[in-house]
Amino acid sequence: MSAALTHRGEVRARRALLGWVLLGAAAFALLPWYFPQNVSLWRALPGIFGGAETASGLVHALVHGRPWLWVALAALVPCALAWRMPAGRAQGTALVAGAGLGLAGLVGSGFAIGAAGWSFEFLQGWFGALAQGQFGMGLGAALMLLALLMLLGAGIARLGYFRGDFFVAGAVVFCSALLLLFVALPVAKSLIGAFLTEEGGFSPAALGARLANERVWGLGCLAGGVRCGVAWNTLFLALLTAAGTTVMGTLIALYSERGNRRLSKPLNVLALLPIITPPFVVGLGLILLFGRAGLVNQFLEWALGITPTRWFYGLFGVWLAQMFAFTPIAFMIMRGVVQGIAPSMEEAAQTLRANRLKTFTTVTLPLLKPGLANAFLVGFIESIADFGNPIVVGGQYAVLSTDIFFAIVGAQYDQGRAASLALILTAFALIVFFIQQRVLGKTSYTTVSGKGDAGVAMPLPERVRRLCVGVAGPWLAFTLVVYVFAFIGGFVQTWGRDYTPTLRHFSTAFDLQWGQHGLVWAGTAWNSLFTTIKLAAIAAPVCAGIGLLISWLLARTQFVGQRAFEFGALLAFAIPGTVLGVSYILAFNVPPFELTGTGLIIVLCFVFRNLPVGVRAGTASFKQLDRSLDEASTMLRAGTATTLKRVVLPLLKPALVAALVYSFVRSMTTVSAVIFLVTAENELATTYIIGRVGNGDYGVALAYCTVLIVLMSLATMAIQWLVGERKLGRRKAAA
């Protein structure tokens, strides 16, 4: 039986090798090698044997004067020879040598040769001028790189790594390449851009010249001046928001779990609101309340004769908007931590004659330390990356995210300044991240073990309960008022002047007419809505699939460099969205990966911005699954891929739902990461809304937000229905 199993596995391995070699050959000879942005794939296919821009790699090498592409074909030759060799180290060496040669040659020539020839002057001095440059890599080149990566993984497995498993080795190599290309490379190129002069030369002094000015680090506000630098503004706002959301989220979580369990479900609904709403909805709702034409200013003018002003726009307005937007996220983090505290530990303290207040301060609060640190970190990063609320209610209070935006899209168009500000933003996020890790250290906070714990959670001490009710209660009521006003704002004529109910704003955005040739999508928002849904629907399953694959590799395999691999997978969480958007512009606007201005770059930004959530959700679920399930499947002659498909994936449905829902919803509502990537052809819902807000057309903006909330609620329910729930076969409790 062992011999038969080995023979069957070897047959599958040889088929896989042959399949990847044939795919690489077909990609080189039969598909467009480059990616001309003004030509679609279907229009490019007829020109693969002759078009100057749409030809295959083989035609480019033969006819169009690009001999460096022969390295791709040369790489497949040793791989094809290895297919005929017996399994062993010799076959692995041939595969690694061939695939490594092809990857190094294609990637190296891609960076060295641009659209106008050599990308570096010293190469032109060495080799002379080129007759032809090259465009960004297209479908043919992408599939060739994929084939070479898989062949490289197979060679590494043949050399004895990853227990000889082709699938595991290929998955590690593939995911590592994705993280290097779409996370590490853009971020590194963005941060290096801060050290480049306008002529493109490297100069550390360039960074100092961009940052050593009053606009960035000025402290004029402390000496009676008008304002401080944007770096201090951002840091101060982030600390205020992180502290406020952590405290408020903790109070709400304690009251929900230990004070009044009847509020648990309503609070869960409230916690979902900021996830399924665009990030500036809260800011718009606050404008309707506290803006110059808001109800509060109108009441003060009517009752006390106070002339309405713009007092709300600035630090206080942005902080209040971020508090409303991010407190529910802190609540979700703290709610899980409060639930995880074992009642037996509190009962032990009370058995030792400690009262409830003493038990709460010496046992309960210390066990909340990891949750408090995580909630603070999330609040801090969300605040410094937030773009929607500062642009809506910030007024003259400038922060780094808005300054980066204006450095890119403003009249100056200073990419070096944008990269310098992005470096500061990244440094803030990483410093807080490492401080959090340092504070938590290696202390164990485990309270849930394999032993049963039938104790009853200790009720809140009376002082703590009063604090929760007195602070969290009015805050929750105020939150509901803000969301209600944001919803109502789309159904009145003009807020502050004419409160007549109307559907005019919905008609402006989503009008439908019947024309001579059929149905006409006459509303101004249809194009952005369709584009957003299409790109988010493409990104969500890709993000969930890659995230769960990475989490499986982290949970079920051991390999050299695993810690660096995990850090790369989670790096996008510590990098603010504004920085990631700038990074994608700098990394993908020139060959070999020329994607700027296309819908593909937006999809990639969606995928890798939301990837850490899929990784976290998958890792948590894998820790609940016994390895014996995988081993039993392997003993029954199933391969690794079959085990994943038939055994593991059905048990990961909760993680899959979480990754799909989060990725889709965040893709629909994100603004900071993609504000630099949109074009007239690829306008998104959030950028359309920001444009309306900039024109003062709050009614249409709020009407659009209402439609998005309804659509994303329906999409969330549809994803849960399609994926279903995992079935564990447990018996129900007796009636």
The pLDDT tens digits for 313-361 are 888 889 988 888 888 778 877 776 777 676 767 777 777 777 777 877 7
**Percent of the chain at pLDDT exceeding 90:** 14
Give percent of the chain with pLDDT exceeding 70.
82
pLDDT of residue 5: 44
Q: Which amino acid is at 366?
A: P
pLDDT given for residue 143 in this prediction? 94
pLDDT in tens, 245-300: 999 888 888 887 777 666 666 766 766 676 677 766 777 778 878 877 777 778 77
DSSP notation for 597-639: TSHHHHHHHHHHHHHHHHHHHHHHHHTTS-HHHHHHHHHTT--
β partners of residue 202:
196
700-735 core/surface letters (b: 16 or more CB in 10 A; e: else): bbbbbbbbbbebbeebbeebeeebeeeeeeeeeeee
More confident residue, 669 or 606: 606
Give the pLDDT of residue 726.
47
What confidence score (pLDDT) does residue 147 get?
95
For 528-563, write each residue's pLDDT tens digit: 999 999 999 999 889 888 988 888 888 778 877 777
> Which of 51-55, 257-261, 598-602 has the least mean pLDDT?
257-261
Which of 136-145, 262-271, 273-282, 571-580 has the highest average model confidence (pLDDT)? 136-145
End-to-end CA distance of the chain: 49
Using the predicted structure, report yes or no on whether residue 440 has a pLDDT greater than 90.
no
pTM over 0.95: no
Where is pLDDT greater, at 412 or 88?
A: 88
To which CATH superfamily is domain 216-446+457-502 assigned?
Answer: MetI-like (1.10.3720.10)
CATH fold of 503-728 reads MetI-like fold (1.10.3720)
Rounded to whole angstroms, how far apart are CA atoms 358 and 369?
Answer: 17
Six-digit token pair at 445?
């906070």
Sequence-distant (≥ 6) Cβ neighbours of residue 589 within 8 angstroms? 595, 596
Q: Taking residues 584-592, what's their average pLDDT?
A: 86
Return the structure tokens found at 15: 């088929």
Judge whether residue 48 has pLDDT over 90.
Answer: no
What pLDDT, on the 0 to 100 scale, is given for residue 732?
42
Task: Please name which of 238, 240, 237, 241 lies closest in space to residue 227, comparing C-alpha atoms.
Answer: 237
Q: Minimum mean pLDDT among 152-156, 302-306, 722-726: which range?
A: 722-726
Residue 120 has pLDDT above 60, yes or no: yes
Segment 171-182, tens digit of pLDDT: 999 999 999 999
> In this structure, what token pair is assigned to residue 340?
């995880």
Note the pLDDT tens digit of each residue in 286-313: 887 887 777 777 877 778 777 777 778 8
Q: If we measure between CA atoms, which residue out of 71, 97, 72, 74 comes closest to residue 158?
A: 97
Q: Which amino acid is located at 585 in the chain?
A: I
pLDDT (tens digit, 9 = 90+) per residue, 640-662?
666 666 666 666 666 666 677 77
- Of these ranges, 261-270, 525-534, 584-593, 684-693, the one predicted with the greatest mean pLDDT is 525-534
The whole-chain average pLDDT of the chain stands at: 79
Domain parsing of the chain, residue ranges = 1-159, 216-446+457-502, 503-728
Residue 310 CB partners (closer than 8 Å, separation 6+): 291, 292, 395
Question: How many residues are present in the chain?
Answer: 735
